């Protein structure tokens, strides 16, 4: 279920991971929990539409899938705060907007 080249995919309310050992990685789990919150804030389906459109726009700009992916606002927020385990407790509503 996890696309080639990725370690996980989060589809509310599930997180599909490629390797079981990642379940114990607090940083990894926090990253995916941030995505769960983002999906909830956008009422799930709009999140995926926005994610796909932003990926397409970023891809047209960078002409590189990995750069496009890393520059999606949702990913930027998750990567920036994955190490801050308390981030979800103080996460402002729609905080991913800071990364547009």
Is residue 34 within a helix (H) or strand (E), and if so which, with residue range? helix 26-41
Domain limits for position 30: 8-99
Q: How many domains are contained in the chain? A: 1
Residue 2 belongs to a domain = no
* Tokens found for residue 100: 């547009």
Please indicate, yes or no, if residue 61 is contained in any of the structural domains. Answer: yes
Q: Examine residue 59 and state whether it is found in any structural domain, yes or no.
A: yes
**Tokens standing for residue 99:** 């990364």
Amino acid 100: pLDDT: 92
Is there a domain that residue 3 lies in?
Answer: no
Q: What is the pTM assigned to this prediction? A: 0.94
> Mean pLDDT per segment of 10 residues, for the chain of length 100 residues?
90 96 98 98 98 98 97 98 96 93
Residue 19 lies in a domain: yes
13 phi and psi angles, rounded to 5 deg: -100, 20
């Amino acid at each position: 279920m996890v696309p080639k080249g990725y370690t996980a995919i989060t589809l509310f309310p599930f997180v599909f991971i490629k390797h079981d050992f990642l379940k114990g990685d607090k940083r990894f789990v926090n990253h995916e929990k941030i995505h769960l919150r983002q999906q909830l804030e956008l009422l799930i389906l709009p999140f995926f539409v926005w994610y796909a459109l932003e990926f397409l726009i970023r891809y047209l700009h960078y002409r590189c899938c990995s750069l496009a992916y890393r520059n999606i606002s949702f990913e930027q927020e998750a990567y920036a705060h994955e190490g801050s385990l308390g981030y979800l407790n103080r996460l402002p509503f729609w905080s991913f907007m800071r990364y547009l």
